[in-house]
Amino acid sequence: MDGLISTFHISWKLLIAQAVNFAIVFVVLYRFAFKPLARTLSERKREIEQGIEEAEKSRELLKNAEYRAEEILSDARGRANEIIREAKQKHDEMLARIQKEAEQERQRILNKAREEAEQERQRIEKGIFSRLADFIPALIAKVLREEKDEAIRLRYMEHIEKLIQQEKL
């Protein structure tokens, strides 16, 4: 070892002074540089880990929100389809009811028109028969007066009498 010290020209005093200087610099650096730097790095690491955790939570919340949004959209589509189906059903029911009411109204109007036509026909018939009742006796009297042959006149009168008898039955 003495050979090593003499070969490299190592001085014990200088070596001890440098070791003391190194220890002082090491303690000062450790206390004022490495420790705060390690604390800062530790805090930064913790903040990064927290950020990653929050990002994972946000990603999970986003997935849940997207899933929930899809559920809401799907539910809304289902409800919209149900509303459309109900509206179509109500439309069909309303259309059937309106058609039924229109058909009933048509039948009512048709029946009323038939009744009015029948009443008008009866009124006209009554008027015609009334006029004929006044006209026929005068016509028969005229025909019988103008007929010169007594036998034909008697046959006309018998025939008219038979018609009257048949009409009364």
Q: Which residue has the higher pLDDT, 11 or 104?
A: 104
- Per residue, what are the HEC states of 44-86? HHHHHHHHHHHHHHHHHHHHHHHHHHHHHHHHHHHHHHHHHHH
- Average pLDDT on 34-53 reads 93
Q: Which amino acid type is present at position 39?
A: R
What's the predicted TM-score (pTM) here?
A: 0.42
Which tokens sit at 120?
A: 């008008």
Q: CB of 97 within 8 A of CB of 105? A: no
Q: Could you give the CA distance from residue 47 to residue 53 in angstroms, rounded to a whole number?
A: 10
What mean pLDDT do residues 72-91 have?
95
* Domain coverage including residue 77: 2-168
Q: Give the total number of structural domains in the chain.
A: 1
State how far the Cα of 96 lies from the Cα of 104, in Å rounded to an integer: 12
Q: Are 157 and 144 in contact (CB under 8 A)?
A: yes
Q: Is the per-residue pLDDT at 102 higher than 80?
A: yes
Determine the pLDDT at residue 168.
59
Residue 169 pLDDT > 60: no
99 vs 133, more confident = 99
**CA distances for 32 relative to 29, 37, 46, 83, 96, angstroms:** 5, 8, 21, 73, 93
The predicted structure's pLDDT at residue 136: 76
Query: Is residue 140 scored above 80 in pLDDT?
Result: no
More confident residue, 106 or 15: 106
The pLDDT of 54-82, averaged and rounded, is: 94
